[in-house]
């Protein structure tokens, strides 16, 4: 079974989706460790309730991004994972860290990348008058929110949408798509060729809702 480490900063609802699918037998991975950069992240409680080991490494305790990433990497590597999953982890990672986990570091981002990298994506998508919004799951490369895309889900922005209503609908898409992308990884069905993700050797990376 694929051994995963999941990194979080907050609620951990995507982590919960993994936990639920593992319990249901639809996702056959082991989460060896959950690491948060915030001590009060609710996702730590979700992990403990599921019997998963947790660690807190607070970025504030380090005086450089590099020092934080080195400590994070040591903690992650202590459980020898096959896969590192960023699930609402709100820190930018150094290229040394990213390159160390090349092809086994996956992120979810709440926009239809390459649109709206960075933060505050729901408000920005509405302000830009976008018709569509969504979530993207991608392999991580040193450039922020820019790696090869595994899977995207989209939804139509409605006239009366708010940040909260959009975020809720994005979350329900994320909770379906992220476990699926992880399942594909665990089944060894993903490869990267010329910066593009292939599923079973084919270019069919986009799944629209
Ligand atoms: C998710 O919507 C995820 O796409 C986003 O944070 C949320 C975490 O929710 N990630 C980013 O913004 C990464 N820059 P969760 O803690 O409930 O899983």
The pLDDT tens digits for 130-176 are 999 999 999 999 999 999 999 999 999 999 999 999 999 999 999 99
- Ligand 1 neighbourhood includes 38 CB (under 6 angstroms): no
Closest protein CA for atom 10 of ligand 1: 88
* Pairwise CA distance, residues 63 & 87, whole Å: 24
Residue ranges of the binding site: 12-14, 65, 90-93, 107
134 CB near ligand 1 (under 6 Å): no
- Asked if residue 172 has its Cβ within 6 Å of ligand 1, the reply is no
Question: Is the shortest distance between the CB of 177 and ligand 1 below 6 Å?
Answer: no
From the CA of 24, how far away is ligand 1's center (Å)?
23
**Atom of ligand 1 minimally distant from the CA of 110:** 4
User: 36 with 54: CB under 8 angstroms?
Assistant: yes
Is 103 known to be catalytic? no
pLDDT reported for residue 203: 85
Give the residue, out of 6, 8, 10, 14, with the most ligand 1 atoms within 8 A of its beta carbon, to mutate for a pocket test.
14
**pLDDT reported for residue 207:** 56
Take residue 86 and report the two structure tokens written for it. Answer: 């960023």
How far apart, in whole angstroms, are the C-alpha atoms of residue 44 and residue 143? Answer: 28
Contact assessment for residue 62 and residue 68, using Cβ atoms and an 8 Å cutoff? yes
0.90 surpassed by pTM: yes
Average pLDDT, the chain: 96
Query: Binding site for (6R)-10-formyltetrahydrofolate: what residues are annotated?
Result: 65, 90-93, 107
- Cβ contact 111:118 at 8 Å: no
Predicted ipTM > 0.85: yes
Q: Is 110 in the pocket of ligand 1 (CB under 6 A)?
A: yes
Distance 106 CA to ligand 1 centre (A): 13
Among residues 109, 122, 133, 138, the one annotated as catalytic is 109
What is the chain's Cα-based Rg?
16
Q: Would the pLDDT of 17 be above 90?
A: yes
80 band by pLDDT with thresholds 50, 70 and 90: very high
Of the candidates 6, 13, 3, the residue with the CA atom closest to the CA atom of residue 110:
13
Does pLDDT of 206 surpass 90? no
The answer to whether 108 and 86 have CB atoms below 8 angstroms apart is yes
């Amino acid at each position: 079974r694929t051994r995963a480490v999941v990194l979080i900063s907050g609620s951990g609802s995507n982590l919960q989706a993994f936990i639920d699918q593992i319990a249901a037998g639809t996702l056959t991975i082991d989460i060896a460790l959950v690491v948060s950069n915030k001590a009060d992240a609710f996702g730590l409680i979700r992990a403990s309730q599921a019997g998963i080991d947790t660690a807190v490494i607070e970025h504030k305790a380090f005086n450089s991004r590099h020092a934080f990433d080195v400590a994070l990497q040591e903690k992650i590597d202590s459980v020898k994972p096959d896969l590192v999953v960023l699930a609402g982890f709100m820190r930018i990672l150094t290229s040394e860290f990213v390159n160390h986990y090349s092809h086994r570091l996956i992120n979810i981002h709440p926009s239809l990348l390459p649109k709206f990298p960075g933060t505050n994506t729901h408000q920005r998508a509405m302000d830009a008058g976008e018709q569509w919004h969504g979530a993207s799951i991608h392999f991580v490369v040193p450039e922020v929110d820019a790696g090869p895309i595994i899977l995207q889900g989209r939804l139509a922005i409605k006239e009366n949408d708010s940040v909260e209503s959009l975020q809720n609908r994005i979350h329900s898409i994320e909770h379906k798509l992220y476990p699926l992308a992880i399942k594909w990884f665990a089944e060894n069905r993903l490869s990267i060729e010329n910066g593009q993700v292939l599923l079973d050797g084919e270019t069919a990376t986009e799944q629209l809702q």
